[in-house]
Each structure stands twice: as structure tokens, then as C-alpha cells.
Amino acid sequence: MVNSVTNLGRSGVYDWLIQRVTAYVLALYTIFLLGFLLTSDVNYETWNALFDQTWFRIFTLMALLSIGAHAWVGLWTVTTDYIKAMGPRFIVQAACGLTMFVYVVWGIQILWGL
């Protein structure tokens, strides 16, 4: 069995489970936002009031972390399937990982006003 330090779940079953759980979180978040946008008179005040609620910030944080994990598992799978040489694969995975890390940290800073 091959042990890889770059996959998130350490096995195919865990990676599959991460993909499914994060997909549900992202689907629920998308459905909620679409419902909010379609049923509310969206302006700065309503948008700000929504994001001032702690439960919604936590929900948004869950969605932000979910998109990072979901993207990492997907990109890891694609790069290991299609880039066979270790050097280029490592460079692509490192660039993807760094980009996702920066986006998640940046999103947390925006969300919580840090």
C-alpha cells in the first residue's frame, strides 16, 4: 500500500467521505444563499445584518473550510492521476495548496474582520 503525505484523508475511503460531506455543506450553503437572495430585498443593511449573526458567520466559515478541503481532495486526485513525474506534480500540488491556504486565511480575515 502506498502512503502519501499529500492526500487529506490518508485513504480513498476517507477522501471520498470528505468530498461527500463538504459537498453537502456547500450545497446547503448555496441553497440558503439563493433562498435569501430570492426572498429578501437585498441591500447593504440586510446583507450586513445577515453577516452580523454569529450562526451565519459559523455557517460561512464551514462553507469556506469545506471548499478548501473539497478543492484539495479533487486537485490532489487529478494531479496524481495525470501528472506522473514527481517533481512537476509536487510543484503543482504545492502551488494549489498554497493558493487554497491563502484564500481560506483571507476569507477568515474578511469574515471575522481580523
Domain containing residue 105: 12-112
Judge whether 28 lies within some domain.
Answer: yes
> 11: which DSSP letter?
S
- Confidence (pLDDT) at 1: 46
Domain count, the chain: 1
Query: Residue 18: is its pLDDT beyond 60?
Result: yes
- Confidence (pLDDT) at 25: 97
Instruction: Give the chain's mean pLDDT.
Output: 90
Judge whether 101 lies within some domain.
Answer: yes
Judge whether 40 lies within some domain.
Answer: yes
> What residues have CB less than 8 Å from 59, skipping those under 6 apart?
29, 32
CATH number, position 69: 1.20.1300.10
Residue 55 is placed in which grid cell? 450562526
pTM for the structure as a whole? 0.83
Judge whether 95 lies within some domain.
Answer: yes
Query: Residue 23: is its pLDDT beyond 50?
Result: yes
Judge whether 5 lies within some domain.
Answer: no
> What residues have CB less than 8 Å from 60, skipping those under 6 apart?
29, 51, 111
What are the pLDDT digits (tens) for 37-78? 999 899 999 999 999 999 999 999 999 999 999 999 999 999
Burial track 45-62 (b if 16+ CB lie within 10 A, e otherwise): eeeeebeeeeebeebbee
Judge whether 4 lies within some domain.
Answer: no
SS3 5: coil
Judge whether 7 lies within some domain.
Answer: no
- Confidence (pLDDT) at 112: 87
Judge whether 2 lies within some domain.
Answer: no
